[in-house]
Amino acid sequence: MIKDLITLGVGSALLAKEKVEEELKELIDKGKMSKEEAEKLIEKAKARGEEQEQALKEEIKKALREVLDEMGLATKEDLERLKEELGGSGSSKKS
């Protein structure tokens, strides 16, 4: 489900990007905006998109941690801490 949501988000973002680029090209062609202004606008939008992507990733991580906590599942850190407490080095012994 999460993968589907991310795929949907990426697809929507690509469509939006294409639409913005088309509109900017039209404005440049009509002389209402310079190519440099359009490039600055695209870079600004790209930077904002990257910031939003990072924020979304953090929200997803937070939500997943909450789900793991609610389910009582061990995290990688929990398992590593347990290994240390048991004195294990992480290698398994075969008899």
pTM, whole model, 2 decimals?
A: 0.53
Query: For the chain, which residues make up each domain, given as ranges?
Result: 2-86
- DSSP 8-state class, residue 24: H
82: left (phi over 0), alpha (psi -120 to 50) or beta: alpha
74: left (phi over 0), alpha (psi -120 to 50) or beta: beta
pLDDT tens track, the chain, 95 positions: 667 777 777 777 777 888 888 888 999 999 999 999 988 988 888 888 889 888 988 998 899 889 888 998 888 888 999 999 998 655 554 44
